[in-house]
């Protein structure tokens, strides 16, 4: 089963984040309206509390449905997301306002009755929905020639009860005004949530874009490393085949057969790893040992290889075949022109927490400095180090009193 390509997956907010934003919004609404009711001293807080909880729950459900619509616009441009939020929030706000009216429909009558009982009067609603108050008193006490109340006078020995209309029953227009007023408040509440959602989504998309950019950078780096690594193999094969041809032409069949076997071992070893991956330093030294075994067939009397690898650095990581061009340079420019034995030394050490790997020879380094320092092989090593480590790796190459030396300094990374 292959992993999905991160570059093709649309950025989405995790559902738990979306749900938490909805619950958080309506929990804040519940707490703030409850606090407001306590401050202004609203009647029947216990009755209001569970009803307010139902409205908040309905708000979460409606907001969830709103999100299902908005997520269809996640990959659209910002203006399309804003327009969608403005439009979708309208019916959502109306639904929440209607739920609010349904839940609180009977609470007003209970509040009115409780206020009347506390004031010693009877407040009630008639069948038409008018709010009425029955006020006990003498007949003349309720007359107001400027604003006569509507009343029903009943005689009972010494008292008269007057029924006064406090509020007319709301008309259809009044109900729509009330619904609109509630809906507008919920509309801006939903727009606040939509703004939060779009901000969180923009953050998720920005992080996804950064991840995709990182994937592209890693892919480009891997491609560059692979290309540079593949440059090494043809170069080495060209030299090896030339050497093999020379052995065959001179009738040195036994040495040619030995060289073929060592070339086979070399390529089996070098092609076993991912060309972009690092290898253990011990494996890299073993690979160069194979190579020098091949060259020893050509220069049995002149090549003297030395390997200096401390045990504690055997598992240190290094780019595969990074030493190959350096060893080839020593063979080509130090051993090839020489008439006397030349020692090629591969060494490693730890210095200030960094891995230092060197290839040196005691051949004619001063005369061959230009060839050593500016050849294709050394340029390949520089490019590979830059692609792999950036500014954290350095390479120094030049003549010494003993011959020629190239040192690589890279970050110390141990295997496992």
pLDDT in tens, 2-14: 444 444 455 678 8
Average pLDDT over residues 166-186: 74
CA 381, distance to chain mean position in Å, is 34
Per-residue pLDDT tens over the stretch 318-354: 988 788 888 888 888 888 888 889 999 999 999 999 9
Most confident region among 85-94, 127-136, 177-186, 284-293 by mean pLDDT: 85-94
- Please, which pLDDT band fits residue 277 given cuts at 50, 70 and 90? confident
Taking the C-alpha atoms of residue 17 and residue 126, their distance in angstroms, rounded to an integer, is: 50
At residue 184, does pLDDT exceed 80?
Answer: yes
pLDDT of amino acid 369: 45
Taking the C-alpha atoms of residue 161 and residue 361, their distance in angstroms, rounded to an integer, is: 123
- Helix ranges (DSSP H) in 250-315: 253-270, 281-298
Question: Pick from 87, 78, 90: which is nearest to 199 by CA?
Answer: 78
Average pLDDT over residues 299-323: 90
- Please, which pLDDT band fits residue 33 given cuts at 50, 70 and 90? confident
Structure tokens at 250: 């001179």
In DSSP terms, 355 is beta-bridged to 350, 410
At residue 410, does pLDDT exceed 90?
Answer: yes
Side-chain half-sphere exposure of 119, counting CA atoms within 13 A: 13
Q: 91 with 99: CB under 8 angstroms?
A: no
Q: 322 with 414: CB under 8 angstroms?
A: no
pLDDT of amino acid 141: 45
Taking the C-alpha atoms of residue 404 and residue 400, their distance in angstroms, rounded to an integer, is: 5
Structure tokens at 27: 């929990």
Q: 321 with 291: CB under 8 angstroms?
A: no
Average pLDDT over residues 98-106: 82
Structure tokens at 351: 């210095």
Triad 342, 344, 350: Cα angle to 5°: 150
Structure tokens at 54: 């139902």
Average pLDDT over residues 294-318: 89
At residue 303, does pLDDT exceed 60?
Answer: yes
Global pTM reads 0.49
pLDDT of amino acid 89: 93
At residue 317, does pLDDT exceed 70?
Answer: yes
At residue 273, does pLDDT exceed 70?
Answer: no
Q: 341 with 304: CB under 8 angstroms?
A: yes
pLDDT of amino acid 231: 54
pLDDT of amino acid 261: 80
For the four alpha carbons of 241, 246, 249 and 255, in that order, the dihedral sign comes to: negative
């Amino acid at each position: 089963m292959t992993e999905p390509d991160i570059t093709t997956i649309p950025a989405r907010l995790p559902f738990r984040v979306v749900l938490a934003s909805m619950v958080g919004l309506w929990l804040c609404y519940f707490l703030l309206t409850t606090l407001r009711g306590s401050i202004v001293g609203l009647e029947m807080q216990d009755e209001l509390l569970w009803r307010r909880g139902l409205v908040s729950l309905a708000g979460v459900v409606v907001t969830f449905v709103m999100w299902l619509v908005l997520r269809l616009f996640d990959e659209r441009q910002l203006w399309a997301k804003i327009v969608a939020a403005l439009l979708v929030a309208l019916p959502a706000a109306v639904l929440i306002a209607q739920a609010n009216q349904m839940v609180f429909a009977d609470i007003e009558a209970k509040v009115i009755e409780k206020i009347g009982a506390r004031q010693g009067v009877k407040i009630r609603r008639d069948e038409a929905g008018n709010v009425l108050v029955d006020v006990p008193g003498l007949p003349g006490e309720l007359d107001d020639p400027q604003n006569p109340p509507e009343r029903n006078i009943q005689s009972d020995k010494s008292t008269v009860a007057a029924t006064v209309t406090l509020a007319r029953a709301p008309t259809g227009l009044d109900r729509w005004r009330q619904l609109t007023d509630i809906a507008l408040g919920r509309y801006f509440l939903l727009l606040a949530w939509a703004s939060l959602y779009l901000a969180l989504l923009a953050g998720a998309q920005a992080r996804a874009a950064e991840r995709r950019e990182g994937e592209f950078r890693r892919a480009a780096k891997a491609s560059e490393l692979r290309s540079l690594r593949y440059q090494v193999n043809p170069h080495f094969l060209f030299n090896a085949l030339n050497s093999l041809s020379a052995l065959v032409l001179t009738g040195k069949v036994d040495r040619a057969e030995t060289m073929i076997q060592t070339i086979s071992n070399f390529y089996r070893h070098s092609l076993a790893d991912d060309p972009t991956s690092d290898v253990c330093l011990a494996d890299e030294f073993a690979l160069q040992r194979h190579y020098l075994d091949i060259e020893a067939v050509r220069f049995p009397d002149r090549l003297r290889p030395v390997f200096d690898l401390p045990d504690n650095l055997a598992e240190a990581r290094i780019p595969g075949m990074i030493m190959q061009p350096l060893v080839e340079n020593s063979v080509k420019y130090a051993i090839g022109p020489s008439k006397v034995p030349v020692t090629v030394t591969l060494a490693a050490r730890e210095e200030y927490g960094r891995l230092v790997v060197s290839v040196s020879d005691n051949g004619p380094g001063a005369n061959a400095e230009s060839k050593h320092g500016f050849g294709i092989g050394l340029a390949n090593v520089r490019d590979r180090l830059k692609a792999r480590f950036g500014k954290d790796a350095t390479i120094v190459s030049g003549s010494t009193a003993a011959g020629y030396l190239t040192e690589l300094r890279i970050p110390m990374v141990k295997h496992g």
